[in-house]
Amino acid sequence: MNQGTSSSTVGIDAIAIATPRAYLDLVDLAAARDVPSDKYTKGLGAIRMAIAGRHEDPVTLATDAASRLFARAGVDASRIGYMAVGTETGIDHSKPVASYVHGLLGLPAACRVFDTKHACFGGTAALMGAVEWIASGAARGRSALVVCSDIARYALGSPGEPTQGAGAVALLVTERPRLVELEVGHTGTYARDVHDFWRPLSRRDALVDGHYSVSCYLDAVAGAFGAWRDEDVRRGGAPLARTAYHVPYVKMAKKADRHRAIACEGLDEAAAEARFARDVGSSLAFAAEVGNVYTGSLYMALAALLHAEAGVLEGERVGLFSYGSGCVAEFFAGRVAVGAADVVESLALDEPLRDRVRLDFGAYEAIRRADGDEPAGVTADDEVDVASDRCAFVGVDAAERRVYRRATHGSTPRADAASTAAA
C-alpha cells in the first residue's frame, strides 16, 4: 500500500518510448575509429546508438512518445491537467519544449505546462512534481503527462562519442495506476555542486570529466540510497525485488549496483555479481539498443524491466535511482501493480526499436557535421516527409520561429505548430 496518501495510490499508469528512425551499430563506429569492437560492446555494454536526423529534435521525440502513449493506453487528452518535459537538450533560451508539445498534442488550455532541467535528473524532477500535484488533491481527478526527451551528443572522435543516443519516454501519472504505485513522500536525496558534466551555451556538444563523473555518480548512489534506506528501515519496508538505475551507458548501471552492494550493504563480490544479474540485468536491454537518453534513461530502464518481467513482478517492490550531473540524485521505490503484465503487453513497449534504419558510418558523420545547419526560411506549406504517427521539425521561419508538423494516423500531415507567444 502506498504510504503517501490514505485515500488512493499515485504512480505510473502507462509508459511509451520513442526513438529516432536511424541508428549506428557500435561495431561500425569501432571499425571507423580503429579500436577493438569489444571496447564498446563489452566495455560499455552498448550494441547500437540512436541517431537523430535533421527533422528530429527533443520536441519531435517527445511528441512521438506521448502520441504513442495516448494511442496505446487510450488516454483522454482532455483529462490532462499537468504536462512537464524533462530535458537538457534546449532548443530556445525562453520557450520550453513542453509548450510545443502541448500544442502539437492538442492538450487543454487549463493545463500546467513547463520544462524541468537539472542535467539527467530533469525527468525525475518533473515526475516528482506530478506525483505530488496529484497526491495533494490539486489535480481534482485529472492526470499528468511527464515526458523525458533528449539527444546525447559528444564531439566526433571524443571518448564520449560511443555513449551517444537519442530518444524520449512518456509517462502517464494517475491515481490508482495500472503499472507502478509510487511511494509518495518516501525518497532519499543527495546533492553537491560539482563540475562533472556541462554544456556551455555556445556549444551543441556536451563536455564531461569522465572519471570524475563516475566518482560523483557513485557518491550519489551511496548518499541517496543511504538516506532512503534509513527511512525504509524505520517504516519496515519490504525488500526490493529489482532496481532500475540511470543508465548513461550500460556498464555504469553495473558499477552503481556493485557500489551499493559492497559499500552500502556489505555484500561480497560474488554476491554483488549475482544480484546484478538477477535484479538489474533485464532493465538494460533498451539502453543497449538506444544509448544514452539523458533525462529518460532511468525510465527507459523501467520500461525495459516491465517489458521483460512485469508478470513475475506483480505485487513486488522495485527501486529506482535517478542521477543528474552537477549534481543531484534521488532513490525511491514503487510496487508493480497487480494486472501490470496485461497492460504492458498492450503497450508494446519495444515496438519503436523494431523498425529502424541502420546508418553506415559515412551517413552518420554527415548527419553529425550538419548538426548546426537547421533548415531555414520555411513556410507552413513546405513539404517534408513525415512518417505516419510521427512529428517532424520542418525548420525555422523568417521570424526565427521553429515550425513542426505532426502526421495523423495513416494520412497526410495536418497539424502545424510554430512559436507565436510574446515574452
Active-site annotation, residues: 88, 120, 246
- Residue range of the domain that includes 352: 10-369
Burial class (CB in 10 A: 0-12, 13-18, 19+), 136: exposed
Note the pLDDT of residue 378. Answer: 64
User: Which residues pair with residue 391 across a beta bridge?
Assistant: 406
Q: Is residue 393 part of a domain?
A: no
Task: Say yes or no to pLDDT of 259 above 90.
Answer: yes
Q: Is residue 416 part of a domain?
A: no
Q: Tell me the per-residue pLDDT of 329-383, one tens digit each, with 9 for 90 and over.
A: 999 999 999 999 999 999 999 999 998 999 999 999 999 998 766 666 665 545 5
C-alpha cell at 122: 530533469
C-alpha cell at 245: 538505475
Strands (E), 138-214: 143-152, 165-175, 180-191, 197-198, 207-208
Q: Is residue 202 part of a domain?
A: yes
Q: Is residue 148 part of a domain?
A: yes
Q: Tell me the per-residue pLDDT of 197-246, one tens digit each, with 9 for 90 and over.
A: 999 988 889 999 999 999 999 999 999 999 999 999 999 999 999 999 99
Provide the pLDDT confidence category of residue 8 given band limits of 50, 70 and 90. confident
Q: Is residue 83 part of a domain?
A: yes
Task: Order the strands of the 165-175 sheet from edge to edge.
Answer: 112-116, 80-86, 143-152, 165-175, 10-18, 180-191, 328-336, 317-324, 242-245
CATH number at residue 192: 3.40.47.10
CA torsion angle for 104, 366, 355, 101 (degrees, to 10)? -10
Q: Is residue 417 part of a domain?
A: no
Note the pLDDT of residue 237. Answer: 96
Tell me what the mean pLDDT of segment 288-308 comes to: 98
Q: Tell me the per-residue pLDDT of 40-62, one tens digit each, with 9 for 90 and over.
A: 999 999 999 999 999 999 999 99
Specify the DSSP element, H or E, that contains 288: helix 285-290
Q: Rounded to whole angstroms, how far apart are CA atoms 141 and 76?
A: 13
Provide the pLDDT confidence category of residue 99 given band limits of 50, 70 and 90. very high
Give CA separation, 159 vs 33, 154, 415, in Å. Answer: 11, 8, 40
Task: Say yes or no to pLDDT of 34 above 80.
Answer: yes
Q: Is residue 170 part of a domain?
A: yes
For the chain, the residue count is: 423
Q: Rounded to whole angstroms, how far apart are CA atoms 96 and 141?
A: 26
Tally the domains of the chain: 1
Note the pLDDT of residue 167. Answer: 98
Provide the pLDDT confidence category of residue 2 given band limits of 50, 70 and 90. very low
Cα torsion angle, 172, 127, 152, 113, sign: positive
Q: Is residue 415 part of a domain?
A: no
